[in-house]
Amino acid sequence: MTDLIAVPEWTQVRQKGGLDPLGLQAPSIRLYQSLVPGISNVTLRTRYYGLYPWLSEEYARQSHDVDSEVWKKTVRRAEAVYALVAARANIKNEQQETGVAGLKWARETLQAHEGGAVEFADHTDPDGDGKPYLKQAWGAFGAAYESQLREAGVLGDAEAKARPPTTSTLS
């Protein structure tokens, strides 16, 4: 017996390709941004909405350095450490974590070091010799989260590219 599919005569059955075949992305983005300002379609995980404000506050409290290159290095190193910790937890718990910036790099790095210490500065510093954990100059922070955190009012305003940012409670 042949499987029959009942389809109205005025339609065609075919696979649609593309990122948004039903055209629902724009209305969805407007809806969730009205509910939670600062969230975007490039936001991977909400965990970073806790990491970056904490890092920013600690940086402002401990460093007081207004050099944007020092802040960039701090962000990139924090993201790399976060990726290494997530990758290590995956190995111990035999699970596959996703949505952590630099996770592929971290898995490869941990495998190469076989449980030993990982020197990661060369992989995070702009002038480092190692394979970068991420190609984006400002890491996931600059690529996906900084503008949303500012839009949501979590990070205070700073001169464009004149970091470090401060949390709204410190500004």
Q: Can the peptide bond before residue 164 be classed as cis, meaning omega within 30 degrees of 0?
A: yes
Alpha helices in 63-129 (DSSP H): 68-93, 103-113, 121-124
pLDDT of 160: 42
Top mean pLDDT of 107-111, 127-131, 160-164 is at 107-111
Top mean pLDDT of 32-46, 67-81, 108-122 is at 67-81
Overall pTM > 0.75: no
pLDDT of 170: 47
Mean pLDDT, residues 110-127: 83
Q: Is the dihedral of CA 37, 38, 41, 45 positive or negative?
A: negative
Mean pLDDT, residues 37-48: 72
Better-scored residue on pLDDT, 3 or 145: 145
Does the structure show a pLDDT above 80 at 48? yes
Give the residue from 114, 37, 51 showing the smallest Cα distance to 82. Answer: 51
